[in-house]
Amino acid sequence: MSSKDKIERNDDDLQSKEELLHNLQVHQIELEMQNRQLRESQQELEEARDRYADLYDFAPVGYLTLNESGVVQEINLTGAGMLGMERFNITGQPFLLHLTASSIQPFLTHLRQTFSVTENNVTEVFVKTRNGHPRVVSLESQAMPGEKRVCRTVMHDITMQRRMSVALQMSRSAQDALLKAIPALVFYLDDGLRFQNVSQVFADFVGQKPEEVIGKKIHDLFPAHIADDIQEVCALVMQSGKAIYGYENTMTDLNGTVCHMSTMVAPFLDYQGKIIGLVGASIDITGIKSASISNSELLLQNRKLTRNLYTVQEEERRHLAHELHDELGQWFTAIQAEAQIVCNISGHDSRIHESALAIGKNVRNVHGVIRGMLRKLRPSMLDELGLADSLRDLVLQWCHSHPDIVCVLEIEPTLNRLGEELNITIYRLVQEALSNISSHAHAHRVTVNLTKAQADHADSGIIVLNIEDDGVGFVKESIRPGIGLLGMRERAISAGGEFSIMSSPGKGTKIFVWLPIGKPHA
């Protein structure tokens, strides 16, 4: 072989080696890329596995795998938490160890049925807890295909649902018992104003059984004019969301008797606060109405009698005052004249002279006492000069008797033609108020104000009497008003007026009286 051929052959070998090296390098790069992809895929698989493990362990329900004998093969953390134990203490142990005695047989039956059917099988059991209060658990199981006889089981803790169900059942039972026993027309309406439930009294009133009323509307049970009123009230409550109390209406029972009813209607809401219906109750107040009317009539009669009593009393006082004035006045004048004669003819006998003077003095004193009594019985100035001057004289005489108390009288000058009955009523009210103040108030200042409220006509309107003192006052709730205040109140009311009193300890007392001008309402 020539040198040239050798050189050419060496060049070919070198080129082949370079190509082989290049191919090896390319293959190495491809392998590295594939390895990198495999590592990434493995990492993604591990992450996915971890995610699924977390989903399995921390699912809101318990997952476990049971074999045909009921031994726990696998269980997630949630299921272990429901059983109140660590997972390694549960796996490999029979599941029935965690059940109450009453739940063992139902669980074994559930397990047999699970492996004998293809669809899901559901049961409920009681799981023991450390605090001694079993929890209610729902088991939903399905047998898995394959040689291994196992089943997958989903475990739900339904303790709260069961408690709520029991509470709801108790509430319904209590409601049914209440509706049977309550002596009122109680009803429940849905948002379409159809009856959902009614009391036995309601059903008896409309002549049907409670279950026959359910689903009917108001117009199906009552006459149109009554149903229209009831439906209008119910619609108003549905729209406003506010309850209505004390709505009074009339209904006719099966016997045709008209009954007066007092009705309450209120909305009830769902968990979102939306109005989903109404509850109402009607009470028969026919007896109360009749008693109220009778009481009002008796009250009017009593006020008539009281006013007549005051009228007769004033007439008797007037008559007695005139008799005492005319009869005793003559005798006092005669006694004084005789005493003066004896005094004049007594001469030098000092004993007779002094006795005659003493008799005259005593007669004058007795005469003064009688005049005071006559003024209280019947103030003559009231008949002669009118109300204003009589009140001024009353206040003046009272101030003389109580010099430590300042009494101010404020009276409109136009209040002179009010009528005899109204005049004497006002006079007696002021007289009694001043008597009470002097006896109990320990006041330093008293104000008596008498005015007339504005009116369209001169012969109508309201007389307003205010009497105020700065005395010790009293607590209305703890101190019972005396005869004086009671008498003032009765006198004002019998005249068709109103009486009010305000007082508190240390802040004096205020008396307010409103009296109508003209004939009082009987």
Q: Express each pLDDT in 443-487 by its tens digit.
A: 999 999 999 886 555 556 899 999 999 999 887 655 555 557 888
516 contacts: CB under 8 Å, gap ≥ 6: 460, 461, 462, 463, 495, 496, 497
126 contacts: CB under 8 Å, gap ≥ 6: 99, 100, 102, 103, 134, 135, 136, 137
In percent, the amount of the chain with pLDDT more than 70 equals 86
Identify the weakest region by mean pLDDT among 122-126, 137-141, 150-154, 298-302: 298-302
Domain count of the fold of the chain: 5
Any domain includes 165: no
Q: What pLDDT band is residue 521 in, cutting at 50, 70 and 90?
A: very low
Is the domain of 248 the same as that of 204? yes
Q: How far, in whole angstroms, is CA 16 from its chain's centroid?
A: 106
Supply φ then ψ for residue 394, to 5 degrees.
Answer: -60, -45
In 84-194, which residue ranges form alpha helices assigned H by DSSP?
A: 101-116, 159-181
Any domain includes 169: no
Any domain includes 166: no
Is the domain of 406 the same as that of 483? yes
Q: Name residue 453's amino acid.
A: A
Gyration radius of the chain's alpha carbons = 53
Is the domain of 153 the same as that of 76? yes
Residue where one domain finishes, among candidates 378, 395, 417:
378
Any domain includes 167: no
Q: Answer whether 472's CB lies under 8 Å from 442's CB.
A: yes
Residue 406's CATH number: 3.30.565.10
Is the domain of 417 the same as that of 502? yes
Mean of pLDDT over the chain: 84
Is the domain of 67 the same as that of 40? no
Half-sphere exposure of residue 196, counting CA atoms within 13 Å on the CB side? 15
**Residues 112-128: tens digit of each pLDDT:** 999 998 889 999 999 99
Sign of the torsion formed by the C-alpha atoms of 232, 236, 238 and 244: negative
Any domain includes 219: yes
Is the domain of 361 the same as that of 475? no
Is the domain of 77 the same as that of 105? yes
Identify the weakest region by mean pLDDT among 56-60, 202-206, 346-350, 518-522: 518-522
Is the domain of 271 the same as that of 361? no
Q: Name residue 321's amino acid.
A: A
pLDDT value at 232 more than 90? yes
Any domain includes 162: no
95 contacts: CB under 8 Å, gap ≥ 6: 64, 66, 70, 71, 72, 107
Range of the domain at 195: 175-284
- Tokens at 413, concatenated: 């000058």
- Tokens at 118, concatenated: 């293809």
- What DSSP letter does each residue of 307-336 carry, written as one string? HHHHHHHHHHHHHHHHHIIIIIHHHHHHHH
Residue bearing tokens 């005793």:
328
Is the domain of 514 the same as that of 390? yes
pLDDT value at 235 more than 70? yes
Q: Name residue 203's amino acid.
A: A
- Tokens at 69, concatenated: 């004998």
Q: How far, in whole angstroms, is CA 167 from its chain's centroid?
A: 26
Top pLDDT among 374 and 256 is at 256
Top pLDDT among 332 and 216 is at 216
pLDDT value at 522 more than 50? no
436 contacts: CB under 8 Å, gap ≥ 6: 482, 484, 485
Tell me the pTM: 0.49
